[in-house]
Chain A
């Protein structure tokens, strides 16, 4: 069993209280950072660790921190993005519910590294229990002198606030989150300027995912180089994966990056295989916005290599035959699931959540949803697939924020890999509303790549 860095003490009773967390070695990272390290040392340590943003894009966290502008006399902010709303992803909620102090500890260290005197945790509005848990944990930490003025006698002041959002998916986009935090309508800003230059209230701001911030704690405790030993290649450390769908044991798992997907999906330690003895049809590897893959392409890359749970291996093959790590929302589909229905469901979600600011996303998401609805209920046309691909291409990359891309990718990839099933929905319209297409050839072994001449 691999070592857990984040969820080591998850099963200790009362770990959500300050005393138990402290007795298990909690807040050691705060002590170490504030007493023995300068803020630049902390940034350097995180850089060394190779930690990549856990929110979806996988941008190196240390690099992000070092981009932060540091003009004299201007406040800097750290904002924790806890607006986790990606369908299929629920790791941050889990972390906040059971280990609130881990997040707070990470926030203190990260704020210290960035020189932020005020930091915010922006939590999605639906997560009311988590907001209360965090509020209580912050009050506890403050009582014990880990927040507020002159933390541990180091002369460093930090105020930490929890801000509930309104529950909009778009507010998970960092600039929309900042707008919302400022009390405005949650529309993404047009970049540049990036938040590192002008973010919250026009001041330099870093926005990090909950898990990225929590991962700072083991990095400081053990040193960046030690952390970088876990994992594979440029995917260092451990990652929380929220496994859902038709797996036997759904839940949040901490894995070492580089774990073979076969092990993750079928070993009893993790997902335990597909529920009810069925076969795997398709996988969404990192939350609803990443490209969906059929079982055969998911288990092996197009070159025949076994796929690993790492940023690089999942992305191998690009968008033609690969997918993305995303935010770690692992959804498995068994042979009874309908890909058309699932794609429609995702499209419906993005249609509902588009902010309506820029035209391709505002109009295009609704259009795709309507066409997919028609296909799902057996009224589609053969030309609809090409139409969907074309519309998704017109949206992708032409929008202000990545929501347009997120809406386009699942549709485009579903048609790329499951075109037969879409066509079956057109040719057998009446049947399509009664039964599903089944697994077809989606789990067949991949054809051997032709030897290069």
Chain B
């Protein structure tokens, strides 16, 4: 099936979502996604940051779709034409959604462990407005410990439901879920029950913000001072492949996470033993330094990787399609 996103055509299999088709193309035209997680079935559609405009439904039925659609949950049709960064309507809607997401977010980035690898921070930086128009108190919650290894700071949560899907699909039973409704809704366990099973630590990795944090790493260091190194070990757990990223500060392993791709999604989920208990270099076989996107603050000092041009800026078709925007950016 042929789908055209911002003037770039790509052949994809039937049943692919627009977002995944865009990820095949890569570069600037990939819509941001805060709630969609390709490894989790049924995720997506909730945060609305990935809204795109379908300017042509398909070859058979060329009518445009009446509303913006969530690209993570809309499957492509043959001949579909999609506008993402070339549509002012989409840019405007996305800006609005970033503002909405930040209404109740505490913006305590200076003391947040997620800072530097936070999806919401990146989203706000790339698509947000300079200041908010919200002038009221933000909703707050008490921090709670769910188990001895994970802390839940609900104030920061953007209710993406990723951790709920993770617990449903990756662990053998789920002990937390959404309570209440509307902007009072919160992720919680039933009467402060501990979340305790072999894969529960993965909720930390899937959390796009700093709502679920690793208690063994909390306030130890800022992520951009640590050095990510890929490593593996022979894990006994049947569902864990033992492939991780170790985050070093000097000689010390400060934390262990799963390996995340450029969209912040883990490649393989890891077990709690790997994550929380194996914090010595001797436990691991080191593979080499982890490649970090040049967009990320974690790679801030790696000058050699600074400027590989994204495909969008080298593709003549796209340059022409987005001429107006490029001119605007060069003016600034």
Contact = CB atoms under 8 A, between A and B. Distances in A.
Nearest to B44: A190
Given A353-B182, A370-B136, A394-B100, A359 B48 contact: yes
A57 to B, nearest CB: 13
A251 B159 CA distance: 42
A445 interface: no
Contacts of A355: 181-182, 185
A208 interface: no
A12 B180 CA distance: 44
B183 A366 contact: yes
Contacts of B44: 190
Interface in A366-417: 366-367, 370, 387, 390-391, 393-394, 397-400
A47 to B, nearest CB: 22
B178 A364 contact: no
B326 interface: no
A239 to B, nearest CB: 26
A398 B185 CA distance: 20
Nearest to A354: B182
Given A359-B101, A362-B159, A387-B133, A399 B48 contact: yes
Interface residues on A, range: 20 to 34
Task: Identify the interface centre among B101, B103, B182: most chain A CB within 10 Å of its CB.
Answer: B182
A366 B138 CA distance: 11
A353 B182 CA distance: 7
A366 B276 CA distance: 39
B45 A400 contact: yes
B93 A356 contact: no
A130 interface: no
Contacts, number: 92
A212 interface: no
Contacts of B96: 360, 390-391, 393-394, 398
B154 interface: no
Contacts of A111: none
Given A190-B45, A190-B70, A356 B181 contact: yes
B97 A398 contact: yes
Contacts of B178: 185, 356
A269 interface: no
Task: Identify the interface centre among B46, B93, B178: most chain A CB within 10 Å of its CB.
Answer: B46
A184 to B, nearest CB: 10
A36 to B, nearest CB: 39
Contacts of A399: 48
B180 A356 contact: yes
B270 interface: no
B331 interface: no
Contacts of B101: 359, 363
A350 B293 CA distance: 42
Contacts of B181: 168, 170, 352-356
Contacts of A363: 100-101, 103-104, 183
A313 interface: no
B89 to A, nearest CB: 10
A357 interface: yes
Contacts of A366: 103, 182-183
B134 interface: yes
B237 to A, nearest CB: 31
A366 to B, nearest CB: 5
B97 A359 contact: yes
Interface in B11-53: 44-49, 51
Contacts of A397: 67-68
Nearest to A362: B183
A52 interface: no
B215 to A, nearest CB: 27
Interface in B91-109: 93, 96-97, 99-101, 103-104
Nearest to B34: A359
Nearest to B42: A190
Contacts of B48: 358-360, 398-400
A365 interface: yes
B183 A356 contact: yes
B100 A360 contact: yes
Nearest to B101: A359
A124 interface: no
A175 to B, nearest CB: 12
A351 interface: yes
A360 B159 contact: no
B68 A398 contact: yes
Interface string B59-80: 0000000011010010000000
A362 B70 contact: no
B158 interface: yes
Interface in A319-374: 351-360, 362-367, 370
Contacts of B103: 363, 366-367
B159 A356 contact: yes
B278 to A, nearest CB: 37
B184 interface: yes
Given A351-B182, A398-B68, A358 B51 contact: no
Contacts of B134: 367
A380 B51 CA distance: 32
Contacts of A398: 48, 51, 67-68, 93, 96-97
Nearest to A394: B96
A398 B67 CA distance: 7
Interface in B266-320: none
Given A190-B70, A400-B46, A359 B100 contact: yes
12 contacts: A353-B182, A355-B181, A356-B180, A356-B185, A362-B185, A363-B104, A366-B182, A366-B183, A394-B93, A394-B99, A394-B100, A400-B48
Given A185-B177, A352-B182, A365-B183, 14 more contacts: A354-B181, A358-B45, A358-B46, A359-B48, A360-B48, A360-B97, A362-B100, A363-B104, A366-B103, A367-B134, A390-B96, A394-B96, A399-B48, A400-B70
Interface of A: 168, 170, 185, 190, 351-360, 362-367, 370, 387, 390-391, 393-394, 397-400
Report, nearest first, the 3 A-B pairs whose CB atoms are least far apart.
A394-B96, A356-B185, A190-B45
